[in-house]
Chain A
Amino acid sequence: MSEAHLSVGIAQHVEGFSLDVAFEAGPGVTGIIGPSGAGKSMTLSAIAGLTRPERARIALGDEVFVDTARGIFMPPEQRRVGYVFQEARLFPHLSVAENLDYGAKRRGSAGAMTRAEVIDLLGIGALLDRRPHRLSGGEAQRVAIGRALLSAPRLLLMDEPLSSLDIRRRREIMPFLEALHRQLDLPILFISHNIDEIVRLADRVLVLHGGRIAASGEVAEVLNRLDVQSLILGADDNAADPATILEARVSRHDAAHYLTELDIGGASLAVPALTLAPGARVRLRLHARDIALATERPAALSIQNVIEAKIVEIKTAGPSQVDVELAVGAQLRLFARITNRAAEQLQLASGRPVWALVKSVALAGDLSDGARAT
């Protein structure tokens, strides 16, 4: 489905806020991240046709949704855009089954996945006869996702579908979203203000700030930028430590110790056993506060994930702390957050070789606690 390529350009002013964005999105998940009020939802609602921007050109393949220059505005019902909102927005007077079929009935077909497949994927088979008020938040959101999928969409918009749910419900829905991602060959725009969700689901990321696109591109590349991290985490960057997102490859399993060795390009990390075949790719997130430094290779230590690195730069991070930027191999950059005093006593300086001790590794997007390394 190479024609399913979304191209968006929107300029809109509403009550003192101006949105001015332009981007392209192909098949796969494009994560949209940014602080609240950045214009994320406004962008999606213009794409869906729920709002009319003053100036815009939005097209999916060769189908033009909006072109204000040519006076084109396609009403939302003709766009075939599946929209999953923050709240489930199920129709209260219809049963779950009727909600699911609402779009399919009007579009004449269910779309790329059949009704049975969607019901199976989302695990909502037992809920079909229920009314929306008798669903839990997580169930309702799953039904809402199913309803959007069954409306034969050519584009899927998801506006923080997990934000109204508690951590347990999030964990319950996340696997469904991942499975969805693998099964659908259409552009999916996924809004979130949670880096973990983006890292886990997105192929590309778009960072929105103050109605403008602050950065866009590969997830790891964009989210590893410190300016982007501080944009997302807010101005209070002393509290939030930098994190590095990296792509790793499963190199081997240590069955005797229930560990999996990951190759992170120039170094290796051991994490609790993963159910992935050697060669599989995973995304990891290393937080600066989880990395300690040593100037000599530590001999007797329980932390076994020790990586040889070189100091690139030392930056102040508040009155008592510094962030030490480390180079591992040619490409990998890591950060370690340590105290001022430690940096002084160890006489750390740019160019000095050190050993980074990784206390824990967060398997990207794993919304549970980071997988503890040994």
Chain B
Amino acid sequence: MTDWGGWLSPGEAQALWLSLKTGVAGTALSLPPGVAVAWALARGRFRGKFALDGLVHMPLVLPPVVTGYLLLILFGHKGPIGHFFETWLGFTLAFNWKGAALASAVMGFPLLVRAIRLAFETVDPRLEAAARTLGAGRMDVFTSITLPLVMPGIIAGTLLGFARALGEFGATITFVANIPGETQTLPIALYSALQVPDGEINALRFVGLSILLAVGALAASEYFARAQQRRIRGTT
């Protein structure tokens, strides 16, 4: 663990580090499928589009405990997917930080997809058609025209998903429990602190940390979105 120079207690540093780690891992995990799903929802014409849309939004409307429990059923030791991972990939998700990352990925997914989908919808398909007449194939058009134009949306969506991941509580505690150093992220540590008599001071410190992190993420989101806008339109 990094030495935080006594500025934070080892427990706090651990929770902060875990939060960042699960948040980053979870967001990174959900970004590629998020872009793909957002693209399919914005541009695709296929059967089951409505169902896919509903499924993606499910974590947003379900009680987080339900989502966490479903994850436990599916990805736990005995769950079909969890069992498969363990036997074939030697990879466990239940009750460790990877599971926490998965939980935060699932919970942040709808927000991430929404933002990116909106961005895809604003890209003029006529620009893509023009690019094809200029000799660019489908993939080439996607990477050279579409992706750069949706980049502000991707950045905004990613940071939104990340901020959501930092605050993840219900699904995480249900799926991977509350294990200090393993799954005890900032919100869970805050919750734990509140369970201890005279824990208010500690809790307040966690609150402060959470606020700092959230404001940081928001500011970064704004900064990157504006920089991208400037790059594309030359305006702020």
A interface residues, Cβ below 8 angstroms from B: 48-50, 75-83, 85, 87, 89, 91-93, 102-103, 106-107, 131, 133-134, 147-148, 151
Contact = CB atoms under 8 A, between A and B. Distances in A.
B51 interface: no
A75 B132 contact: yes
A50 B133 contact: yes
B140 A89 contact: no
A85 B137 contact: no
B234 to A, nearest CB: 5
A103 B126 contact: no
A48 B131 CA distance: 12
Given A93-B149, A93-B231, A133-B234, A151 B135 contact: yes
Chain B interface size, as a band, is 20 to 34
B235 to A, nearest CB: 8
Contacts of A75: 132, 137
B127 interface: yes
Interface of B: 124, 126-127, 129-137, 140, 144-145, 148-149, 231-235
B155 to A, nearest CB: 14
Given A131-B234, A133-B233, A91 B127 contact: yes
25 contacts: A48-B133, A50-B129, A50-B133, A76-B129, A76-B133, A77-B132, A77-B134, A85-B130, A89-B126, A89-B127, A89-B130, A92-B127, A92-B149, A93-B148, A93-B231, A93-B232, A102-B134, A102-B136, A102-B144, A103-B134, A106-B134, A131-B233, A133-B234, A151-B134, A151-B135
A48 B235 CA distance: 34
A228 B23 CA distance: 69
The interface residues of chain B, by DSSP majority, are classed as helix
Given A92-B232, A133-B234, A50 B145 contact: no
B134 A147 contact: yes
Contact of B131 (A81, A102, A107, A131): A102
Contacts of A133: 233-235
Nearest to B132: A76
B149 A82 contact: no
Contacts of A148: 133-134
B149 A106 contact: no
A35 to B, nearest CB: 23
Given A75-B137, A85-B126, A106-B140, A92 B132 contact: no
Contacts of A80: 135
Contacts of A92: 127, 149, 232-233
